[in-house]
Amino acid sequence: MVPLAIKGVPAVQPTRQVKGRDGMAPSFHQSRGPQEHGAAAGGGEMVPSPQMGQACIKAAYIKVYVRYVHGAVTKTATNQPCAVGAFPNRLPYEATMGYKRPDFGEMAEWSIALDLKSSDCHRSVGSNPTLSVTRFGKRRQRGIMGIDFVKYHGLGNDFVLIDHRDRPDLGIEPEAVPAWCDRHRGIGADGVLFLGQRDGIYQMRLINADGSEAEMCGNGVRCLAKFMQELGIAPEGNQYRVQTGAGLRELFVEPDGQITVDMGPPRLQAAEIPTTLVAPAERAIAVPLPVADREWSVTAVSMGNPHAVVFVADVGALDLAAIGPQFETHPAFPQRVNTEFVQVLARDRLRMRVWERGAGATQACGTGACATVVAAVLTDRADRECTVELPGGDLRIRWDEHTVWMTGPAVRVFAGTR
């Protein structure tokens, strides 16, 4: 175990210990509601030694705030771990808390400070301060609390969203994502999106339903904007800036609630996609590709992730489940590929079905809709501004000389804890 150590105070062993559920003996006990001195619901008390030297905890991942009682007044810190100035009058008494368990294998460590302004409060450290712990575990077992999430969808392309800004890790392993996304035994989703923050910049990571990681997702990033609103993160004007695996993206909240995303310029050289359909410095436009015993005309586009766009006479006639996986894993695309099958209805209207890398057939794909319009312009099938019809609804796509713009909805479905 890793102890709670208070700088400037001699380290001693705890004087009270409560036996843990799994046979361990930490000085942290499970609780089902508020405890004395206002411990967090679902959390518990950490009872330190009189000298506040050391205490052990039973939790895999923790978020910490401190409360102490001084007379009739209860002082409460914000639940923002490591926040400088979380306590208004702090002395140099700092605590570092962490725990490592073999079955989780990762360390979670937070630093906090105790507000010990007055000498009376200082003396209370030697009597009965209370540390309250809200615990966030990777999975519900051995009494560990679960992960809070919210589910959103963008035109039926659905995601589980998790706020991990206050965590050193994602909270769940990528290998666990398929179980979360299972539509019969889990929450059901096309992927899990994680909101992080580093150096003041918001971060997005997407783990697909098969456990692989995607660089970018247009529907997902719109859902992220709505999630940030729900979390109380105010935009700058009407704009959010989010770092993705494909680069920095700007998101704009429209007056009608829809989200417009600057998706960045398309990448067209074969090496950027990547594909071996043509030489690395060339563009793969209307290149023949044999798949499933026939030849298809393929245009390759990257919107931060790889796409193969195929124009057909009738998208409804395709056996997507049969041919989609063969495109996804074709050796001409060494990082696998998202495949869009597109029917041209008019120069400003396209109908699309998609087989997504790592997710299969989905109701919509934002980056795929962008790639579709780019490919349609490159092959002189459509204008630069189009409505793209998807099984889940319509997206508005515009490709100007600098970037591709996508506008569409994002809808909250429900929230829960797993």
- Give the pLDDT score at 46: 34
Average pLDDT, the chain: 73
**Active site members:** 217, 365
* Least confident range of 55-64, 179-188, 408-417: 55-64
pLDDT band at 117 (very low <50, low <70, confident <90, very high): very low
At 284, is the pLDDT very low, low, confident or very high (cuts 50, 70, 90)? very high
Q: How far apart are CA 308 and CA 281, in angstroms?
A: 17
pLDDT score, position 134? 31
Distance, CA of 275 to CA of 337 (rounded, Å): 9
Q: Which of 400, 364, 408 is nearest to 157 (CA)?
A: 364
Q: Tell me the C-alpha to C-alpha distance, in Å, between residue 12 and each of 5, 25, 45, 282, 398.
A: 9, 16, 19, 68, 65
Q: What's the confidence (pLDDT) of residue 200?
A: 87
Beta strand pairing status for 360-361 and 385-390?
Answer: unpaired
**Tens-digit pLDDT profile for residues 288-339:** 999 999 999 999 999 999 999 999 999 999 999 999 999 999 999 999 999 9
19-33, 62-76, 195-209, 395-409: range with lowest mean pLDDT: 19-33
Locate the DSSP E strands across 14-107.
Answer: 45-46, 62-70, 73-76, 94-99
Q: Interior CA angle at 20 toward 15 and 21, to 5°?
A: 165
3-state secondary structure of 411: strand
Q: How confident is the model at residue 170 (pLDDT cuts 50, 70, 90)?
A: confident
Distance, CA of 78 to CA of 86 (rounded, Å): 6
pLDDT in tens, 204-233: 999 999 999 999 999 999 999 999 999 999
